[in-house]
Structure 1
């Protein structure tokens, strides 16, 4: 069981962790909610100091071990829920599929009017999570992580920017839009801290340097 359950939910019985994780998703705020604001720079620096530094291990990783997308509300799956949350004037059909709207990508400052030009980014990539602790989780816990709409872990961004990012951590990739850098690294640390994921040494150095300016 990932330590984040013990750290954040000391009163929860070990056998109920998967149920609690699923319930948190289905009780999430409506799609009219805004993208969660990351913790402050000072808080992020404090969190980073508490993260375990460890060598990453990709052994056994498969994206299929992180089930996406799941139903979040009504007929809306995670992707459509985030498109509605992060877009402007979003129109959907009866299946909750976005048919029109406008999406601003905070990574590169581009605005898109076609949903097909927008990806939903896992800010902490699934492979990165696997490497830094999620390999020890249950499938239900990995599903909760992959569909987390409560923390600043999912956001709509330009599709080819998301693809260029891939599974990189902040040691090798940060958004090209410098105005978003502090938000990005604060969110990264918040997610890793909540889920008790480790950082490698290069990642910690990059985060330390970036957070010094936040």
Structure 2
């Protein structure tokens, strides 16, 4: 299977995160073989086009689901892992022990919270693992699901406040949206980009909600 100092706004943060991921990979702090990010659904027209290409289907069963079927976080060299890579990519004033992130400052685009303790930061899967399972990943093998769970190329991994990530859980945009409405456009674009690349399905309500969110762009 082929796999996509003024306070910055949501779009600036997303672009900066992508650029930083490339820099980390080049510096040897990202997983070996991390590819250059493919273009995501940037712009309402492209995202809307990609959304129309997604298969619409009812969510499948959770039968057999286990997070262990999505092995993460993978080693990323120098005694760190993909979580450290995202923390370093998305944060400011990062403090390292080796390449393990032990301090810094993160602006959570979901709720505009500033977090200064890595323990208060979660790495969100834009498309949650359980949602992916219900929309096609149940048919993949564990290696493919591991690629999805550690995907640094698409806009799939994001450092956000633990509170916002745990509020989201495994819900789709029809059930949960970022409290920060200014991020709705980028959130919908990113969700569509991930599902489009991984050929995951969307439910009718999910598609309708994403269309409404893209209208905020």
Q: Which bin holds the TM-score, normalised by the shorter protein?
A: 0.7 to 0.9
Partner Cα separation in structure 2 for residue 51 and residue 133 of structure 1: 12
User: In structure 1, which of residues 63, 67, 70 is the aligned counterpart of residue 71 of structure 2?
Assistant: 67
Between 1:56-65 and 1:105-114, the stretch displaced more is 56-65
Paired position in structure 2 for 1:172: 175
Aligned residues: 190
Shift of 1:138: 1.1
Structure 2: segments with no counterpart, 5+ residues: 5-29
Shift of 1:99: 1.4
Deviations 1:118-173 (A, max 9, x none): 00000100000000000011111000000001110000000011001000000011
Deviations 1:88-122 (A, max 9, x none): 0111112x221111011000001111001100000
| Residues 132-171 of structure 1 aligned to structure 2 (within 5 Å) | 132-171=135-174
Between 1:117-126 and 1:51-60, the stretch displaced more is 51-60
- Name the SS for the 1:121 alignment partner: strand
Change (3 A) 1:191 1:37: closer
Partner Cα separation in structure 2 for residue 54 and residue 72 of structure 1: 36
| Contact 1:25–1:144 (CA under 8 A) maintained in structure 2 | no
Shift of 1:25: 5.1
How high is the TM-score relative to the length of structure 2?
A: 0.82
Structure 1: segments with no counterpart, 5+ residues: 9-23
How high is the TM-score relative to the length of structure 1?
A: 0.83
Provide the alpha-carbon RMSD of the alignment: 2.1
- Work out whether 1:80 is the aligned partner of 2:87: no
User: In structure 2, which of residues 24, 32, 40 is the aligned counterpart of residue 26 of structure 1?
Assistant: 32
Change (3 A) 1:186 1:172: same
- Work out whether 1:45 is the aligned partner of 2:48: yes
Deviations 1:4-56 (A, max 9, x none): x3x99xxxxxxxxxxxxxxx9522279xx9xx865221111000001001111
- Name the SS for the 1:119 alignment partner: strand
Paired position in structure 2 for 1:89: 93
